[in-house]
Amino acid sequence: MKEAEPTPRALGYAMPAEWEPHEATWISWPDPAGQSFPDSYDRVVPALLSMATAIAESEILRINVRSTEQEREVRSLLSSVAPMERVEFYPIPTNEPWCRDHGPIFVKRAASPTLAINDFGYNAWGGKYPPFDADDVVPTKIAGLLQLPLFLPGFILEGGSVDPNGAGALLTTESCLLHPNRNPGLSRAGIERGLRDYLGVDQILWLGDGIEGDDTDGHVDDISRFVSRSTVVTVTEPDTGDCNHRPLEANLQRLRGMKLADGTPLTVVELPMPARIDREELRLPASHANFYIANSAVLLPAFGGSSDEVAASLLGDLFPNRKIIPIDCRELIWGLGAFHCLTQQQPAT
Q: Give the tens place of pLDDT for each residue, 186-213.
A: 999 999 999 999 999 999 999 999 999 9
Which pLDDT does position 1 carry in this prediction?
53
Is the pLDDT at 2 greater than 60? The verdict is no
Average pLDDT for 256-285: 97
Is the pLDDT at 283 greater than 70? The verdict is yes
Which pLDDT does position 5 carry in this prediction?
80
Average pLDDT for 98-110: 98
Average pLDDT for 322-326: 98
Which pLDDT does position 263 carry in this prediction?
98
Average pLDDT for 101-113: 98
Which pLDDT does position 106 carry in this prediction?
98
What domains are defined for the chain? Answer: 22-347 (3.75.10.10)
- What CA–CA distance (Å, rounded) separates 224 from 172? 9
Which pLDDT does position 211 carry in this prediction?
98
Average pLDDT for 277-295: 97
Which pLDDT does position 3 carry in this prediction?
53
| Mean of all residue pLDDT scores within the chain | 97
pLDDT interval class at 4 (50, 70, 90): low
Q: Which residues are catalytic?
A: 341
Average pLDDT for 70-94: 98
Which pLDDT does position 118 carry in this prediction?
98
